[in-house]
Amino acid sequence: MTKSAIRSLLRFLTNPSSVLWLCIAVTVYTTIMPLYRATMFLEIKYNEGWNAYNAAILAHHGFIYPVRYGWIMANYPVLSFFTIAQLGRFTHDYLYTGRFLSWLGLILSCIFVGIIVDHLTRSRRSGVLAGLICLALFCTCDHYNVGMNEPQLIAQAFFMAGLLLYVLYRDRPWTLAAIALLFVVGGNFKHNLIDFPIFLCIELLIVSRRRLAFFILMIAAFEVPAYYLNVHIGGPFFLDQLLVPRRYLWDKPLWVSFDYYIVLLIPVVAALYTLARSFRIPERRVIAIFFVVSFALDTYFSGGEGVSVNAFFSNTLALAIVLGLFLHDFGVPHPRLPGTSAQWNAAATLILFYWMLIPLACNDAFFPIENWNDLHAQQQRFTDQVKFMRAHPGPAICESILVCYYSDKPYIVDPFNSASLIHAGKLDENVLVGAIHAHQFAVLQFNKPPLANGLPDAPIERYTPAVLQAVRDNYTPAFRRSDSTIYIPASSIPSQPANPAPR
């Protein structure tokens, strides 16, 4: 390559317009797989079928919190199920409605991140870059939770709208009341995003105790009617099911947080550099508090059984904002170093964005063609399972709840929550074991081939050893794929509809 060609390439890579388009290109590349997957007939993660069933119950005027502890549980607030049930009147499909809301929540959150950075830096370009890197972070670090039927992303859009209001209008008298309303609405989509009200309370404690008291009062004022609406719409045991016990794994936060952040090494270092400076700037202090609080709480909550890396979503939003500030501030104008501040900033911008290809590769989403073929194979296997299940009428238990949902099976057992209640001593596993011994289920679906000793291969957080032993003793595999096994009764005893759980 000649010197003139090198100079031309450097001019291209340091041109603000070229840098922006290169950043847009890598961001679009990261969205290909999760966006396409959201259109497909398959299960992305366990919660998809669980959310669809609960929306269907509400759509048919049933209660989702009818008992204190049952074999099916709904430990989310009612608003996400209610919203999908109402929109389902027009879409006629709860799964894809939930997936659309998930994407909508993510896009809105990224837009709010961009507006916040735009306001703090007075730079439209920095705001755009922050919004783009926010989208890239979500689509690379945890693409399995992007575009799935799960309310966390739409919930966080309401919380981010509250943060945006505080950044834009923190001195207006109505702001805290509006933020409290947005936080309560978001919390009634999904209740675990408590880092938002906590970090804002810390900020208000620094600014004004009177304003803090008013904010807490407004939260309480909106939360009381929200509680009664949950009970009225969802059923009398809303609070009991919301607080259903879950085991905590004390070693899990360490390795989960390490796995999540190690692939973001350079972006995290850049964020920490900017974070240290932001505490000293009053206008940016709330973002610095948001980052620290969300990191601490997200890491703690990641230790819950069944909690995925979506526990880090709040901190991912904070990271995107801080990186937007970094991209605005960074420059190395020093007489002993080559290049201008603009050139150093362009280099830093490209490094941060193209670093996103590392988590993309680590999460097996780097090659679109390979992913395309794999997704179509998954879709075919999922369709085969549904066809087999439909050919065997009668009640069923599915480790992949969405298989049962599309097979038109009654919603009888939620494997994860029922197993949690068994471990906590709230349900008697002998009831379920007895129903399996009596061949009261026409089919039982698992996500893996059986083990060498014949036991179904399933995690303990979904099935107890006694349940798996009962399946091996009374059922036989009749359908096998690389990612699924379906069992039918081992004898000719006919399947009889029965519900092993009180409703």
Please list the ranges in the chain whose pLDDT falls under 70.
Answer: 1, 5-6, 9-10, 13, 332-337, 492-503
Confidence (pLDDT) at 335: 58
**Tokens standing for 99?**
């997936």
Q: Which of 209, 214, 163, 202 is nearest to 186 (CA)?
A: 163
Cα 427 from Cα 409, distance rounded (Å):
22
Instruction: Name 479's bridge partners.
Output: 486
User: 């001195």: which residue's tokens?
Assistant: 171
Nearest to 309 by CA among 247, 263, 270: 263
Asked if residues 303 and 261 have their Cβ atoms less than 8 Å apart, the reply is no
CA-CA distances (angstroms) from residue 401 to 3, 187, 190, 360? 61, 25, 20, 28
- Model's pTM, two decimal places? 0.92
Nearest to 493 by CA among 414, 438, 417, 422: 438
Q: Give the per-residue pLDDT at 480.
A: 92
Which pLDDT score is estimated for 332? 65
The answer to whether the CB of 133 falls within 8 A of the CB of 353 is yes
Which residues are bridge partners to 484 per DSSP?
481
pLDDT attached to residue 366: 86
Spatial CB neighbours of 300, under 8 Å, sequence gap ≥ 6: 253
Question: Helix, strand or coil for residue 248?
Answer: strand
Of all helices (H) and strands (E), which one includes residue 480? strand 475-481
CB–CB of 125/118 below 8 Å? no
Determine the longest span between alpha carbons in the chain, in angstroms.
Answer: 86
